[in-house]
Amino acid sequence: MREELQDSLKRLVNFLNFARSFFKRKNPLKELLISLITSLKEMMTIRQKLKMAKYRVSYHQHQLHKMESLIAESNEHTFLKAKNLNELR
């Protein structure tokens, strides 16, 4: 009975040593704190990122519209060129 108790105690101490070394190596509490802080920073800067994304989308839409109008000007077979064709007649 006494030997079983000593074996159990040795196993428990061994487990606690493994757990302590794991916490030293990985430190999940520190990782949790770091992830919490980074998510808070992301939440605070989300409005700024949204504004930049909207600006980029509107800029690319403007560039696309400009390219489409330049293509339509040089193409004789589009409906946008019909005004010029009617003037030539």
Residue range 17-34, pLDDT digits in tens? 999 999 889 888 899 999
Question: What number of CA atoms fall less than 13 Å from residue 85's CA on the CB side?
Answer: 10
How far is it, in rounded angstroms, from Cα 21 to Cα 19?
5
Query: DSSP of 40-64, one letter per residue?
Result: HHHHHTHHHHHHHHHHHHHHHHHHH
How far is it, in rounded angstroms, from Cα 60 to Cα 34?
36
The model's pLDDT over 35-62, given as tens digits with 9 standing for 90+, comes to 999 999 999 999 999 999 999 999 999 9
> What phi and psi, each to the nearest 5 degrees, are found at residue 77?
-100, 10
More confident residue, 85 or 6: 6
Question: Per DSSP, which regions of 1-89 are E strands?
Answer: none
Q: Is 0.75 topped by the overall pTM?
A: no
